[in-house]
Structure 1
Amino acid sequence: MDDALGVAAGQGEDEFALGIHGARDCRRRTFCRRRAGLLHPDGGRRRMGGVQPTHPRSTSMNMKPMAALAAGLLSIGLAGPARAETLVGLTTTNQLAVFDSAAPTGASALVQLTGLAVNERLLGIDTRPSTGLIYGISSANRLYTVDASTGAASFVAGLSAAPADATDPFAGLQSLAIGIDFNPVPDLGMSLPSLRVTTSAGQNLRINVNGAAAGQVTTDVPLNGGPGSPSIVASAYADNDRDPATGTTLYGIDQATDALFVQNPPNNGTLGLVGALGVDTSGVAGFEISGSGLAFAALTDGLTGKSSLYRIDLASGSAGLVGAFGILGDTAIAPPLLDIAAIGAVPEPQSLALLALGLAVVGAVTRRRPA
């Protein structure tokens, strides 16, 4: 990106102006020479001893460098990585706040959730890859969709054991500390159970959110394989996209060891250590891996009760601090974050600037092109 800017910036001001105005000046000079009798009607230049062919610069030739520059700027602007994501946070106070992952202190004003029963709380949320809808699981074992802008929670179904699950039928959540995330692979078909829920009590569940089967829960093998008793309080799938050829990996944050684990295979609940977070977290935590591959965790300090946003390195498990969670810049009034969900990418400012410059150059080239 800097190299491309350097090429444009390194071009002299006169050269840049010539690139835009050269064709117009060329036509003007050609017209004047013809009127003065310096050009032969067939395009040659009149000289002693005959006509010498000339090769006047064409508009298309002058526009080629500008078109190339415009194409380069546009490609950089469009292909520039999304360095931030728009996240919606669910708080322990049954409220929502939207914020840029690059500036978690500047979250929007809190929006109260509505549509829930008295004393019912949402425990976790996630954005469904195939539809973009936000789903949530409540303390009353109910499935909802959630409008992040209004806070309206719409009832979908109550959670119940899937009819075919006779081995260990679901009887309810055994913990209020849960991890929730859609598996993007089965979700594409919009028929199979794709919403993964793990609990700090070791439950490993798959929930169907489709049609008449919505709310049906398949109980998989309990979480196992970690040191001691696993206490996974936040889960997220990688490669969260709509490409059927892309696989996925399930990760979980364990509060007992303050470490990142991979759950593979997910249905078997087998945990494998990735690495230590380097942060002491409580059971109040949220985890999200966006469609662009960025991994974020909202981790809450057990002593202060304050949440902060971290970037998670999926290769090492380490958590890098982004910033404290705050409402309109105030961290003192911000309640703890119970979960987070990505709802869109935010292009980095430099990419937006290049895109705007590219569009401006395209406009200039188009205006100068003859009919």
Structure 2
Amino acid sequence: MTRTLHLVGALLAASLAGQSSAETIYGLAGAGINQQLVTFDSAGLAVTNAAPISGLTAGLGTVSLQSIDVRPATGELYGLDNNSLLYSINPVSGAATQVGVQLSPTPTGTTSTRTIDFNPTVDRIRVLGDSPSNNNLRVNPSTGATLVDGTLAFAAGDVNFGTRPFVVGGAYTNSDRDPATGTTLYDIEAGLDILVTQTPANDGTLQTVGPLGLTVSNTGQVSFDISGSTGLAYLVGSQLFGGTISANTLYSVNLATGAATSLGSITGVPSGSVTDIAVAFPGAPVPEPTSITLGVLLVGGLLLGRRRV
């Protein structure tokens, strides 16, 4: 029995160690009245919490969140809906609370490919949109006040100069509370299936990093975020509109080359595909092992112990 208990302890320790090295990731799944906020971790890839999105302000058509991100200054989860309204979101209950007023000017173009990410050095939201409008907006997260920045375009001398970009995802590095660390904005460009930098971000100047190695439909959605804790870049694709990227599969993206590598499929997604992700702020708790998990480990340990008798 002592040996069995030691074995169970080792199994539990291994489980906890795996969870301690994992990163908590929030995701949007589904749309409209069926839209939910899911939570999973980068190691286990199993959904540990799913909550219906509630509290969105009624507007034109069916209202859904289009993109989410964590605000480094406060650790809060924010979202943007298809009527250009900002919300703070409870990551456990899915309850959304409107923040400020409607973005003005509002982003133009296809709402399904709008993406948001916080610039950690100035506490402003970058809103990027699809072609042909190529929105590049800067938003105050407390009021919704919006500034229009330079139109997205490839830099002179870049290998893709002159090509109209189609940005469907963007994320800043060093999402922390230390402005001295600096930051770089990386984008996913779906027309050419490449990773690019947007530097300076306010100018909208794009510079090619390299190919993703995946076909991303230029009318689809890609969820993209960079961890403020580890600096790892994560991508989840959607097959809602085609492309060869695998739906509900988590990929890592090499920021030096652009290459995407599959980390495995996200299991337990309750409705449709994951359409956007946000890595939790450093220090966010990783879900504890459930009683079912502990039970499985205990039974497994007992069975292994019996075989050794």
Residue type of the partner of 1:281? Answer: V
For 1:311, the equivalent position in structure 2 comes to: 252
Are the aligned partners of 2:100 and 2:144 in contact in 1 as well (CA < 8 Å)? yes
Taking the aligned partners of 1:296 and 1:306, their CA distance within structure 2 comes to 14
8 Å Cα contact 2:103/2:144 also seen in 1: yes
Does 2:180 correspond to 1:240? no
Q: Which of the two has greater helix per residue?
A: 1
- Matching of residue 186 in structure 1 with residue 186 in structure 2: no
Q: Which of 134, 143, 146 is 1:217 aligned to? A: 146
- Aligned residue identity for 1:89: G
CA–CA distance in structure 2, aligned partners of residues 346 and 154 of structure 1: 23
Q: Is 1:116 the equivalent of 2:56? A: yes
Q: Is the 8 A contact 2:168 2:190 kept in 1?
A: yes
Relative to the length of structure 2, the TM-score reads: 0.74
The answer to whether 1:287 aligns with 2:224 is yes
Per the alignment, do residues 136 and 173 of structure 1 end up closer, same or farther by CA in structure 2, a change over 3 Å counting?
Answer: farther
Note the C-alpha offset of 1:245.
Answer: 1.1
User: Is the Cα contact below 8 Å between 2:215 and 2:243 reproduced in 1?
Assistant: no
Write the letter of the residue equivalent to 2:151.
P
Over 6 Å off, 4+ runs: none
> 1:83 Cα deviation (Å)?
4.2
Q: Which residue of 1 aligns with 2:204?
A: 269
2:266 matches 1:325: yes
Alpha-carbon offset, residue 308 of structure 1: 1.1
Residues of 1 paired with 2:48 and 2:193: CA distance?
Answer: 29
Say if 1:306 and 1:334 are closer, same or farther in 2 by CA, change over 3 A: farther
What is the SS of the residue equivalent to 1:84?
coil
2: CA distance, partners of 1:258 / 1:288? 16
Question: How many residues are aligned here?
Answer: 247
Distance (Å, rounded) in 2 between the aligned partners of 1:264 and 1:346 = 29
- Give 1:92 shift: 3.2
Matches of 1:288 and 1:139 in 2, distance apart? 20
Tell me how far apart the structure 1 counterparts of residues 53 and 29 of structure 2 sit (CA, whole Å).
10
Q: Taking every aligned residue pair, what percent have the same amino acid on both sides?
A: 38
1:130 lines up with 2:73 in the alignment: yes
Say whether residues 1:207 and 2:145 are aligned partners. Answer: no
1:300 aligns with 2:238: yes
Q: Give, as a single letter, the amino acid of the residue that structure 1 aligns with 2:144.
A: G
For residues 247-282 of structure 1, what are the alpha-carbon distances to aligned partners after superposition, in whole Å with 9 as ceiling and x for unaligned?
100000011111100001001101000010011123
Distance of 1:319 and 1:205 partners within structure 2:
27
| Larger deviation, residues 173-182 vs 295-304 | 295-304
Query: How has the CA–CA distance of structure 1 residues 239 and 109 changed in structure 2, closer, same or farther, with 3 Å as cutoff?
Result: closer
Rounded to whole Å, the distance in 1 between the matches of 2:213 and 2:21 is 23
Give distance in 1, aligned partners of 2:228 and 2:193: 25
Preserved contact between residue 84 and residue 346 of structure 1 (Cα < 8 Å) = no
Partner of 1:147: 90
Query: For residues 299 and 186 of structure 1, what CA distance do their matches in structure 2 show?
Result: 29
Comparing 258-267 and 88-97, the one that deviates more: 88-97
- Distance in 1 separating the partners of 2:95 and 2:109: 26
Give, in whole Å, the separation in 2 of the partners of 1:145 and 1:171. Answer: 19
Greater shift in the superposed pair: 215-224 or 334-343: 334-343
Q: Is the 8 A contact 1:159 1:172 kept in 2?
A: no
Q: In structure 2, what is the equivalent of residue 84 of structure 1? A: 22
| Match in the other structure for 1:367 | none
Hey, what does 1:258 align to over in structure 2? Answer: 193
Q: Which amino acid aligns with 1:289?
A: I
